[in-house]
Amino acid sequence: MTLADSEPPIWRRLELDSRLDLRSVHRVLQAVMGWSDSHLHEFTTSRSRVRLLADSEVEEGMDGTPERDVRLDEVLADVGDAVGYLYDFGDAWDHDLRLEAVRDVEPAQAVRVVDGAAACPLEDAGGTGAWNVFVRWLVDGDSDDLDDEHLRHLAERAPFDFDPARFDVAEAQASASAAALTTEQLSDRLPPHPDLAALVAALPEEGVRLLAGLSPEAPVPTVDRAAALRPLLTLLDLARDGIDLTPTGLMKQASVRVLLERLGWGGDWVFGRTLREDNLPPVRWVRRGAQTLGLVRRHAGRLVLTPAGREVVGDADGLWQHLVANLPQGDSPEERMAGAIWLLTQRSGRSTYGVYDRHAGVLFDMVAWKTGDRPPTEHQVHAWHLPTLWLLLVVQQDHSTLGALPAQVAAASKALWGTRSDGS
């Protein structure tokens, strides 16, 4: 499968069970490319004079043959046969599917991803021509190409860690294997968390499939809880006798200095000439997390432990349980659902932003389509996950990486799966 006119070429090579129906093939193609199935699609083939209909077109009573009633080997039979696959009638992402070989075997799995190259374009990028220009800018850095307002907007939407050359066979295989399952089978793979259950109930079928496809299959990392929670444990220990605050509510510089010395944090993260709390993001994250968790509070000009804080001070296991019980965070259903998506997309060593940014907006759009509400803005979707992000930063001690750390992945998994921390 090749995305027509893409430069450099975006392509995937697959081995498919010929008995798959075209609706299943559509889902597989979406998965291995990296699309979100948020637009219309159409198969075209010289072997059929009637239009092949997607489920939505069947429901609308259009004339043609439902693609779910057509097998792959009915449209691709001989080597060299080709099928067109058009996705998003506005941007017109035109894919060419060409049969390279036929093997008479009983496949061990319905879909096998053999190889591929280049990342999938972003949804609503404006089509292949606009995407090619954008990729050239990412690779060559020619800002003159971004005079167009649409391309500037695309640059703002792209995840900060987006790599247009990236394609991972294992990730594509995991997505493809999930796409071959029924919606019910996929739903069973989702964590039994109430905020995810609320999201599932609000989504149409394809939204449930998209959400379930984000669920990681990798084993949950084992972490040293005392080491992971060291910043928070250290702050709570300092708060045993109270931490003096300035009139504006910040920790006094002497207390900040003691915290930094105990944690061994250098001055790389100091923005300014003084050890002010608001010049030190890691310190702010830890204090914000402690307050969000209800472990400390301001009282008579000091930061003091709450009853909940006194129960877990010096207790890494108890503090870990308290943390995961408060994930995801948020005052509104949207914040908690967005937080659940954020937790679901945590991957060790990889930034979660690319996965979240690519799919969260689509999922919330699907909720809006189903309910008839107005779709949220990109700013709203981004803002909704922030309470969960800020809280999860309490276990981030390596501030040189943008990738999710093992402790964050483990906390996310524990929060979503509860006692089923292995994700089984």
pLDDT at 403: 67
pLDDT at 83 over 80: yes
Q: What percent of the chain has pLDDT over 70?
A: 92
Mean pLDDT for 34-62 is: 88
Q: How far apart are CA 46 and CA 308, in angstroms?
A: 69
pLDDT at 48 over 80: no
pLDDT at 424 over 60: no
pLDDT at 57: 86
pLDDT at 318 over 70: yes
Mean pLDDT for 35-43 is: 91
pLDDT at 370: 82
pLDDT at 212: 84
- Burial profile 334-354: b = 16 or more Cβ within 10 angstroms, e = fewer: bbbbbbbbbbbbbbbebbbbb
Q: 107 — alpha (psi -120 to 50), left (phi > 0) or beta?
A: beta
pLDDT at 270: 58
Q: Which CATH superfamily is domain 2-171 in?
A: MM3350-like (3.10.290.30)
User: How many other CB atoms are found less than 10 A from the CB of residue 7?
Assistant: 14
Unique residue bearing structure tokens 């796409």: 179
Q: Where are the domains of the chain?
A: 2-171, 181-215+327-417, 225-322
* pLDDT-wise least confident of 326-330, 377-381, 419-423: 419-423
Q: What is the mean pLDDT of the chain?
A: 88
- Sorted by sequence, the CB contacts under 8 Å of residue 316 that are 6+ apart come out as 225, 226, 229, 233
pLDDT at 423 over 50: no
Task: Name the 3-class secondary structure at 185.
Answer: helix
Angle made by CA atoms 277, 269, 383, in degrees to the nearest 5: 75
Which tens digits make up the pLDDT trace of 242-278? 999 999 999 999 999 999 999 888 755 555 567 888 8
Mean pLDDT for 418-424 is: 45
Which tens digits make up the pLDDT trace of 370-399? 888 899 998 999 999 999 999 999 987 655
Which tens digits make up the pLDDT trace of 344-354? 988 776 666 67
The radius of gyration computed from the CA coordinates of the chain, to the nearest angstrom, equals 25
pLDDT at 138: 84
pLDDT at 302: 95
Class at the top of the CATH hierarchy for domain 225-322: mainly alpha
* pLDDT-wise least confident of 161-165, 229-233, 394-398: 394-398
Q: How far apart are CA 267 and CA 286, in angstroms?
A: 16
Q: Which residue from 39, 239, 17, 206 is spatially nearest to 108, judged by alpha carbons?
A: 17
Which tens digits make up the pLDDT trace of 123-150? 999 999 999 989 988 887 765 656 677 7
pLDDT at 416 over 80: yes
Q: How far apart are CA 394 and CA 313, in angstroms?
A: 15
pLDDT at 269: 57
* pLDDT-wise least confident of 6-15, 308-317, 409-418: 409-418
pLDDT at 294: 96
Mean pLDDT for 215-244 is: 90
Q: pTM (2 decimals)?
A: 0.73
In the 8-state DSSP scheme, what is residue 163? -
In the chain the first and final C-alpha atoms are separated, in Å, by 33
pLDDT at 211 over 90: no
